[in-house]
Amino acid sequence: MTSTLLDYGASIECSVGPHGLTPLHLAVSTRSEDLVKLLLERGANPMARLRRASTEACCQPELDGGETVLHTAITTVKTALLPLLLAAGVNVSSEGIYLGRTPLHVAASRGDEATARMLLDAGADISAWCYDGRTPLHLAAEHGRVGVIKLLLGRAADAMATTPDGQTPLSLAASGGKEEAMSVLLRQTSDVLTVGQKATVMISAAKGGSLDVVELLVREGFSVNACDEKSQFSALEAAAVHSHEAVVIFLLRNGATPNASAIRASSQISQGSIRGLLDGTLPLPPGSPVK
């Protein structure tokens, strides 16, 4: 039917709906390999973009909007169609219009190791920055995609790449409480982290509130008194501001120095707990993970 319509002059690049879906976008979305092959053979543009974010993109933060067909294939888990699209000459490092994410960013965010490997083998830029300064490794770390993290590191991704606001893959994993991802990244970065970078990681972990992650960092030698070099905002303050009482207790029990800002920030935490920690009278609950 599609072939007949094209024979009678139907536009192969027509677009429908508010998002500008082309026949090729629709064919990819419906997993029709034969139809994708036909459209490509008849000259469909494999780099056609959506006009704006699709409904699915609005609900899934890893999607960009302004996506190419290759983005669509990855975000809708149509990876079996990737060889067809790659053979058609798609740009494997094309950026989405709104967030600037490449197909590799999307695969990394979703934890799709097979697709990430296929894109890398096809020449995808492993160091591509999207508009907020994140590389594929940043997104894999943020979402705890351990398999993709290992793949990217094995292909020489920069584990110390830093966003304009100072975030490394390790600090994003710390903020999200991704302990396994952190362990992998620490093996790559522990010897090269500066004091300032370690502080950012520790503050991110305290802000995120995962006690397991904070404990891991302390075991790895990160300071419980870590603070931002410019603002002097500390890990203790970060935990207190976000009402992570277990983290506050752990940091204090392990030698964090409380200051007025941290105590004021603890307004949502039991003041009895804070006072007890400061004067040494707080009893530890049974099975407490803190010292």
Comparing 13 with 35, the larger pLDDT belongs to 35
Q: Which two tokens stand for residue 91?
A: 């740009």
Rounded distance between C-alpha atoms, residue 87 and residue 84, angstroms: 5
The whole-number pLDDT of residue 18 equals: 57
Q: Which two tokens stand for residue 272?
A: 């009895």
CB 38 within 8 A of CB 2: yes
CB 216 within 8 A of CB 183: yes
Which CATH superfamily includes the segment(s) 1-131?
Ankyrin repeat-containing domain (1.25.40.20)
Percent of the chain with pLDDT over 90: 48
Rounded distance between C-alpha atoms, residue 165 and residue 172, angstroms: 11
Residue 139: CB atoms within 10 A of its CB come to 26
Residue 69: CB atoms within 10 A of its CB come to 29
Task: Tell me the pLDDT tens digit for each residue of 71-90.
Answer: 888 877 667 788 888 888 88
Answer whether residue 110 shows pLDDT above 90: yes
CB 255 within 8 A of CB 224: yes
The whole-number pLDDT of residue 277 equals: 53
Give the range among 16-25, 137-146, 172-181, 245-254 with minimum mean pLDDT.
16-25
- Give the phi and the psi of residue 117 in degrees, each rounded to 5: -65, -40
Comparing 256 with 280, the larger pLDDT belongs to 256
Using pLDDT thresholds of 50, 70 and 90, give the confidence band for residue 66.
low
Using pLDDT thresholds of 50, 70 and 90, give the confidence band for residue 63.
very low
Q: Which residues contact 48 (CB under 8 A, 6 or more apart)?
A: 13, 22, 24, 25, 68, 69
DSSP-assigned beta bridge partners for residue 170 = none
Task: Tell me the pLDDT tens digit for each residue of 237-279.
Answer: 999 889 899 999 999 999 998 865 655 555 555 555 555 555 5
Domain extents for the chain?
A: 1-131, 193-291
Rounded distance between C-alpha atoms, residue 49 and residue 82, angstroms: 16
The whole-number pLDDT of residue 62 equals: 43
CB 223 within 8 A of CB 264: no
Answer whether residue 286 shows pLDDT above 50: no
CATH 1.25.40.20 for domain 193-291, yes or no, is yes
Is 290 exposed, middle or buried (CB count within 10 Å of its CB: 0-12, 13-18, 19+)?
A: middle
Task: Tell me the pLDDT tens digit for each residue of 195-240.
Answer: 999 999 999 999 999 999 999 999 999 999 999 988 889 999 999 8
Q: Do domains 1-131 and 193-291 have the same CATH topology?
A: yes
Mean pLDDT score across all residues of the chain: 81
The whole-number pLDDT of residue 19 equals: 58
Comparing 55 with 120, the larger pLDDT belongs to 120
| Spatial CA neighbour of 201 closest among 178, 170, 227 | 170
